[in-house]
């Protein structure tokens, strides 16, 4: 679903009614969970008819995908807004990781899943052959390539391979969200910044 969101292929346009239905979907997901979501209850929360939901979204799966796509796009937009392309590479990594973790952990659905059913959140991440992870890895790889100005690392390059780095970092990010380490308070920006600077930036930025 995130892959389709990044590709712009969910087919759901921006409209106040669509947004109200997707907001209601988030509320219903937080109340019932992914497997038990019922379109009729979403419609009731949104103040529309069941047929309006089906007419605008097609079916239950498309409704969930569109809602997740919108929330994923909002996360990426928050990271993009916080990014400073001309800044020091280490500081960019620190800023982007801190922003993305803060937005994800404060999202009402993510926080609800973490508190009540982390396994369901993991199922959502791994759904559709881990499309979320693959799309996230591609996003990170594209960002690395954009920063380096090269499509592929040349022989002897001191930088990391963008695809390998993206694949590793998106899994590390997912692990931080799904299984927050007891040694780091991820709600403390200073600790997240230290984590990014000391352990994650060295994966991407070679000092020699």
Instruction: Specify the length of the chain in residues.
Output: 208
Question: How many CA within 13 A on the CB side of residue 38?
Answer: 6
Q: Return d(Cα 152, Cα 14) in angstroms, integer.
A: 36
Q: What is the pLDDT of residue 208?
A: 52
Average pLDDT over residues 153-173: 75
**In the predicted structure, residue 181 carries a pLDDT above the cut 50:** yes
Instruction: Please provide the distance, in angstroms rounded to a whole number, between the alpha carbons at the two ends of the chain.
Output: 39
pLDDT tens, position by position, 66-102: 888 788 888 888 888 988 888 888 888 899 899 999 9
Q: What is the CATH number of domain 2-64?
A: 1.10.10.60
With contact defined as beta carbons under 8 Å apart, do 101 and 176 qualify?
yes
With contact defined as beta carbons under 8 Å apart, do 166 and 141 qualify?
yes
Least confident of 94-98, 101-105, 136-140, 153-157: 153-157
Q: Which residue has the tokens 């909002």?
A: 74
* Per-residue pLDDT band at 145 (split at 50, 70, 90): confident
Residue 200 is given by DSSP the state I
**In the predicted structure, residue 46 carries a pLDDT above the cut 90:** yes
Query: What is the distance, to the nearest Å, from the Cα of residue 178 to the centroid of all Cα atoms in its chain?
Result: 12
Tokens of 167: 């694949």
With contact defined as beta carbons under 8 Å apart, do 170 and 96 qualify?
no
Residue 197 is given by DSSP the state I
**Structural domain boundaries of the chain?**
2-64, 83-204
């Amino acid at each position: 679903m995130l892959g389709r969101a990044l590709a712009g292929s969910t087919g759901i346009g921006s409209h106040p009614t669509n947004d109200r239905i997707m907001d209601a979907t988030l509320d219903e997901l937080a109340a019932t969970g992914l497997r038990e979501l019922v379109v009729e209850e979403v419609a009731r929360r949104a103040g529309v008819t069941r047929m309006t939901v089906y007419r605008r979204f097609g079916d239950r799966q498309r409704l969930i995908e569109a809602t997740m796509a919108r929330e994923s796009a909002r996360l990426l937009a928050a990271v993009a807004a916080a990014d400073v392309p001309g800044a020091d590479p280490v500081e960019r990594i620190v800023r982007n990781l801190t922003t993305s973790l803060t937005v994800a952990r404060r999202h009402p659905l993510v926080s609800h899943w973490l508190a009540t059913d982390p396994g369901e959140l993991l199922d959502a991440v791994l759904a559709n052959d881990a499309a979320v992870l693959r799309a996230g890895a591609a996003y990170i790889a594209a960002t690395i390539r954009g920063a380096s100005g090269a499509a592929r690392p040349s022989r002897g390059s001191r930088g990391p391979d963008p695809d390998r780095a993206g694949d590793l970092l998106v899994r590390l990010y997912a692990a931080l969200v799904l299984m927050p380490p007891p040694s780091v308070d991820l709600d403390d920006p200073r600790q997240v910044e230290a984590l990014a600077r000391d352990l994650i930036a060295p994966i991407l930025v070679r000092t020699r």
